Amino acid sequence: MTQPAQFGTFFLPGPTEVRAEVLEAMLRPMLPHRGATYEAMHARIVDGLQSVFRTQRPVYLMSCSATGAMEMAIRGAPEGPILSLVNGAFSERFARIAQSCDRSTRVLSVPLGDTPHLEQVEEALVEGGFGGAHFAAVTVVHSETSTGALSDIRAITELAHRHGAMCLVDSVTGVAGQPVETDAWGLDFVLTGSQKALALPPGLAFAVASEAFVLQASVAPSRGRYLDVIEYEEFARRSQTPNTPALSLLYAAERQLEAIRHAGIEARWARHADMLAMTQRWVESVRAKGVDIAYLCRAGERSATVSALTLPEGMQAKAVVARVAEAGYVIGAGYGALKDSTIRIGHMGDHSVDTLEPCLAAVERALR
């Protein structure tokens, strides 16, 4: 599970390391995507994704980045103001997408590294949008990739429903790396990208919409064309996509989902939890040795897929990342406002504690 020597092994918060057999699957020849052979493959991929998302609903196969699925969620959302919960760069992106789609959007911001507290969310839902209008939808990022903060999407969805709003969930670094129970938690719209915990190449987004979301979206006036959730729903029911699918990437998805099904999604969640636990122990061990590095997020609110770590005063993320790369491991610098002061380690996908341990050792050497 290695990249060419000029890159090293990926522990980025995305894209993640992709196994050789998954990459090789993309070499299969093209096939007509409006025929029975494609439809059978599409159905197998959806079946695998349903076990990952824990849903009986159709899963949309989208040949775009997860940003496209975010816009689909906004364009199909009920009319009315939107409450965007912002605790990092990607939750801010969700808010900006809502604004760019000409939706009246109120932003509830919390400090970087924090998660939206339920009391704050409920207070905002009670106050309503501009002029006191009740919110039609709430946007939230499950696992905020820029900070490693993990929000309680189940509780936030319940709050939104209690106040008559739908909840739109970006789980780009959540799905396949930590529990997401789409049906059991009543998620209205949840999306992810291929290049994160699913350990696939970039270029695909996967999304699930509830029956209630689809029903109300049928009268949404600005669903657009390319990202029309109604059209995706109709095509999904006959194992098709409304536009040309990225066949080579879907070949890779089919191969990877077979492996995930064989191992079991619960085992995949447990493996990610083990990597988070190892990273937390490592942080404490290097702090005991005098290295002033710390988690950006509080215990209990940390993603199992990505850890954002604040660096000692005066140390630059770019220099640390470069030294780790010399040892053969690719980690990430901070993102946005945290670019220089933090590093991010993506412990997700097909990695395990066995592959993570030498990466952490390389980071420790770089810090010293």
- What CATH number did the domain enclosing 284 receive? 3.90.1150.10
Reported as a single tens digit per residue, the pLDDT across 234-254 is: 999 999 999 999 999 999 999
Reported as a single tens digit per residue, the pLDDT across 324-336 is: 999 999 999 999 8
Average pLDDT value for residue range 339-348: 97
State percent of the chain over pLDDT 70.
98
- Which of the four pLDDT bands, split at 50, 70 and 90, describes residue 200? very high
pLDDT at position 131 is: 86
Strands in the chain per DSSP E: 9-10, 60-62, 82-86, 105-109, 137-141, 143-144, 149-150, 166-170, 189-193, 205-209, 294-295, 306-310, 329-330, 332-333, 342-346
Residue 78 carries which DSSP code?
P
pLDDT at position 132 is: 85
Say if 125 falls within a structural domain: yes
For residues 229 and 295, membership in a common domain is answered with no
- Strands 166-170 and 189-193, by their bridges, are parallel
pLDDT at 309 over 60: yes
For residues 234 and 309, membership in a common domain is answered with no
Q: Among 207, 235, 262, give the residue marking a domain's end.
A: 262
pLDDT at 5 over 70: no
pLDDT at 1 over 70: no
State percent of the chain over pLDDT 90.
95
pLDDT at position 130 is: 85
pLDDT at position 6 is: 60
Would you say the C-alpha torsion 133, 137, 139, 142 has a positive or negative sign? positive
Least confident of 128-132, 134-138, 183-187, 311-315: 128-132
The residue with greater pLDDT, 8 or 258, is 258
What is the domain range of residue 123? Answer: 20-262
Residues 6+ apart with CB under 8 A from 5: none
For residues 258 and 269, membership in a common domain is answered with no
Backbone angles phi, psi at 299, to 5 degrees: -60, 140
Reported as a single tens digit per residue, the pLDDT across 84-105 is: 999 999 999 999 999 999 999 9
Say if 1 falls within a structural domain: no
For residues 137 and 175, membership in a common domain is answered with yes
Residues 6+ apart with CB under 8 A from 88: 112, 141, 144, 145, 146, 147, 149, 335, 336
Instruction: Quote the mean pLDDT of the chain.
Output: 96
Reported as a single tens digit per residue, the pLDDT across 16-48 is: 999 999 999 999 999 999 999 999 999 999 999
For residues 89 and 214, membership in a common domain is answered with yes
pLDDT at 111 over 60: yes
Number of domains comprising the chain: 2
For residues 228 and 358, membership in a common domain is answered with no
Say if 245 falls within a structural domain: yes
For residues 219 and 117, membership in a common domain is answered with yes
- What CATH number did the domain enclosing 134 receive? 3.40.640.10
For residues 29 and 14, membership in a common domain is answered with no
Say if 4 falls within a structural domain: no
Q: Among 262, 293, 320, give the residue marking a domain's end.
A: 262
